[in-house]
Structure formats: C-alpha cells, structure tokens
Amino acid sequence: MSITTTPSETLPITAPLGLTSSARQGTASATLAMNELVAQRRAAGQDTLHMGFGEASFPLHPKLRTALADAATRTSYAPVLGLPALRQAIAAYLARTRQLDLSASSIIVAPGSKPLLYALLQVLEGDLLLPAPSWVSYAPQARLAGKHVIGVATSPDDAHQLSAAALSDALAQARAMGANPRILLVNSPSNPTGSMFSEAGVAALAGWARENGITLISDEIYAELAHGWREHVSPARFYPEGTIVTGGLSKPVSAGGWRLGYATLPATESGVRLLTAIQALASEIWSAAATPIQQAACVAFAPDAEIEAYVRASARVHGEAAQRMHAALVSLDITCPRPAGAFYLYPDFASWRPALAARGIHTSEELARHLLQERGIATLPGVAFGEPPDTLRLRLSVSMLYGPATAATGDEHEAALWRLLTQAGDEHTPTSALPLPLLGAACARWTEVAQALA
C-alpha cells in the first residue's frame, strides 16, 4: 500500500484531543447527571428529596450475594453471547413468567440492557419511531447510531397508550419528510410514566408493527414490577418473528450496578443474522459480561420461591409508594396518569402554569431547576424524555424514598429496608400498612410547593 504524503508545512495545525462532531453534541444522560448533582448538594449539606433517579434500591438478596462470592474465582472471559447456562436459565425464565417460546441460542447477555439497546440500534436498518415521552437514552443512542428519531404522540388522557392511528400518522409524516422508519421501540411498564399497555393495546401494537414490516423492540426491564392491577403482556406473544425483548437484573433484583442485561431475538433466519451482527459488535466493544456476575445471574433467573417472593415484595412496595404519591398529586389538582408498574409518576403541572409564569417559569427545565434550588426536590424535566420544552411535565421517581426517616449507619438503613420487604411479603397485610416515612415527607413537601404557588 502506498500513502501519498503531504509536505508537513502544508498540513493544517491541529490541537490534540479533538472531538468528532457527534461527540461534541453529546451530553451526559440526564438521569445520571441529576444523580450526581444530588450527591454534590448532599455533600454540601443541602437537604434534597431525591425523586430524580430511577434506581431500584433494595438490598441484594442473600442467595445472590452468596452466588457472586462463590463465583469470584471465575476469572476467565465468558463467551461473547453469554454463559450457556445463563442463556438457558433466561429462556426458561421467560417461558415461565411471560409465556415466551424461546431457545437459549436466540438470547444474548451483555453488561446491562443499555449497551444491547445501543447495539440493536447500531445494527438494525432504518430510522426509529419513538413514543413521546420515552426513556432518556433511546433518542441519544439512536442519533449516535446515525438514525432519525420520529416522535409518536401520546396523551396523558389515556395514560400514554400508543394508538395504531398515531403510529400510522407518524410513519406517514416521516416518510413524507424522507425518513425511513423501520423500528419501533416501546417500554411497558414505562419509564417515565409508570403506565402499562393493556393486553388489547399490546395486541393492536404488535398487529400494526407486523402489517407495516416494522421491527419492534420491547424494553421489558420493569416487567416484574407491575403493581398488580394490570398484567404485563409482551408483544413477542403476538409478533414473535418481529419482536426483540430486552431486560435484565437492574430493576427486579435491585442490582443495577451488576450490569447484567439480555436481549431475545426471533428464532428466524433474519433473527440469526441479527444475532451474528450483534455478536460481532459485542466482540469488538465489551467482549462479554463479567463472568462471576453471569454465574450469579443464573441463580436470579432460576425458579426459586424465596427470590420470587423478594421480587413480588419489592413490586408491592414500589406499587404502594407510587399509588400514595399519585393520590397526593391528584389531591393537589395535578393531572397524573395512575401508575401501573415500575416506580415513576409523570405529572402534568399545566394547572399551575399561570402561577409558575408569574415566577418566570415557562418550561419543564425551569420548573425542575426551581424545585431543586428553591424546594430541594430533585426531579427530571419532561424535555429530557422527548417532550416539547414548554410542556410542564416532570418525571418523579419514588424508589429512593423507602428508607427510614433517619438511619445512623448504612446497616441500619439496610435493616429497615429488609423489615419493609418482610412486611410487604406478607400478602395478608394490606400495603396501606407499610411504613414509608420518607415518602410521607415527600408528599408533604409537594403540598408546601402547591401552597406557596397558590
């Protein structure tokens, strides 16, 4: 190979550490950035009510702790697609809990479902249809992968369900503008709204995707955390040949820091080609999820009455906390879809607009900043979820509000969370009896905000 050289004096003078144009536009994920801001405020002694970060924060189940300790010496790299035993355990788990008929060979395991979502967006062709609002990372990931993102409108009036009419409108408009949408990404239970699709809604959505030849990515990371009044149904039940399901350990067993996620791909020829493409990408970027974590994850996905009871108890706490916060917001005349799963609420502060405008607050970002600086309440603005800036919606997370009112040590805090889980695990005890003092204080803080604005 010959390289034509240019005399050095004609080369432009460049500084080191230059960035690509896409990297120059990137900012840290809104949710992780807020978590760091809260940590800084707390370190500076500023009282902060943390409703800005979606972390499932229960203590780790002892069986998982033991399994991880036992696997500590597994220091070899795992296969790129994941340990065969884990892929098998996930296939069996999804058959048991979601009636999905999958073989282990169409499952890929990775350090979190987030990199898998990015890998999928990187290798699948076409632009992305994305409901608004949607989780903060989908749109930035799609843009990093060079895709156009086409928002699909939803409304709080029907708890942000996704209608075939709205999907067809978005598809037609996108095509008219020269885009080529081939992928739809949905997330039920939803971050940020806590809403879930009804079974009929899921069937309609899957039917629409099949009719239009659209690949459906169903992010089911919160599937285990349904609150009990709506059942989680995967669109893969209706459209197995075109649906990819993602999930992981972060939410059901409160192990976000373990970084363990999976994706299931259709068992078709195109599914196999997709698996090969993701395997190639994974092999060049992350190689494999950590081997000891994968080994311990086998225990999390295996049938185990104790771990299943722990997951059910944590879902009951998330559900009770979300319902209490919902009741508090509604009593303050704030519109908010009733959450059905996960640990989020997505109130709309439109009824406060005149009072907020009088204080110079016109956007969700200004509202979130005001609440943090003046009231010590950390939230995330609707604009981070793809909503127009002047929509006065915020995402509230209740999952950091389950601890005791005070705890002198981390051990005391953890012991209180175990007591809460034990109480929630007794299905004869009404969830209304669960002690949630921090959540009570949060409801009171919102009442103060409403009174100050009145």
Nearer to ligand PLP, 131 or 266 (CB): 131
Rounded distance between C-alpha atoms, residue 446 and residue 371, angstroms: 10
Compute the least distance from the CB of residue 291 to ligand PLP, in Å. Answer: 18
Nearer to ligand PLP, 219 or 320 (CB): 219
- List binders of ligand PLP among 120-139 (CB under 6 A): 135
DSSP string, 371-429: HHHHH-EE-EEGGGGT--TT--BEEEE-TT--S-S--SSHHHHHHHHHHHHHHHH-TTS
State the Cα angle at 375 between 370 and 377, rounded to 5°: 85
The single residue among 240, 261, 266, 337 that binds ligand PLP, judged by CB under 6 A, is 261
Residue 194 in contact with ligand PLP, rule: CB under 6 A: no
Residue 188 in contact with ligand PLP, rule: CB under 6 A: no
The single residue among 256, 376, 404, 435 that binds ligand PLP, judged by CB under 6 A, is 256
The single residue among 194, 248, 319, 386 that binds ligand PLP, judged by CB under 6 A, is 248
Residues facing 35 on adjacent strands: none
Number of residues that bind ligand PLP (CB under 6 A): 13
Residue 187 in contact with ligand PLP, rule: CB under 6 A: yes
Nearer to ligand PLP, 179 or 300 (CB): 300
The single residue among 219, 320, 365, 387 that binds ligand PLP, judged by CB under 6 A, is 219
Rounded distance between C-alpha atoms, residue 396 and residue 344, angstroms: 6
Nearer to ligand PLP, 187 or 254 (CB): 187
Do residues 445 and 331 make contact, with C-beta atoms less than 8 angstroms apart? no
Residue 221 in contact with ligand PLP, rule: CB under 6 A: yes
Nearer to ligand PLP, 159 or 221 (CB): 221
Name the nearest CA neighbour of 78 among 112, 111, 118, 117.
111
Residue 234 in contact with ligand PLP, rule: CB under 6 A: no
- Number of other CB atoms surrounding residue 278 within 10 Å: 23
- Residue 357 CB burial class (10 angstroms; 0-12, 13-18, ≥19): exposed
Nearer to ligand PLP, 30 or 434 (CB): 30
Nearer to ligand PLP, 219 or 348 (CB): 219
Q: How are strands ordered across the β-sheet holding 181-187?
A: 107-110, 261-264, 243-248, 215-219, 181-187, 127-132, 149-153
Name the nearest CA neighbour of 97 among 244, 236, 269.
236
Residue whose tokens read 């010496």: 73
State the Cα angle at 319 between 326 and 259, rounded to 5°: 115
- List binders of ligand PLP among 56-115 (CB under 6 A): 112-114
Compute the least distance from the CB of residue 165 to ligand PLP, in Å. Answer: 25
Residue 294 in contact with ligand PLP, rule: CB under 6 A: no
Nearer to ligand PLP, 160 or 328 (CB): 160
Residue 191 in contact with ligand PLP, rule: CB under 6 A: yes
Residue 189: is the preceding peptide bond cis (ω within 30°)? yes
Stretch that binds ligand PLP, among 33-41, 124-132, 248-256, 268-276 (CB under 6 A): 248-256
Nearer to ligand PLP, 317 or 416 (CB): 317
Residue 393 in contact with ligand PLP, rule: CB under 6 A: no
One-letter amino acid identity for 252? P
Residue nearest to ligand PLP (CB): 112
- Residue 435 CB burial class (10 angstroms; 0-12, 13-18, ≥19): middle
Burial 52-61, CB ≥16 within 10 A → b, else e: bbbbbbbebb
- List interacting residues with ligand PLP (CB under 6 A): 54, 112-114, 135, 187, 191, 219, 221, 248, 250, 256, 261
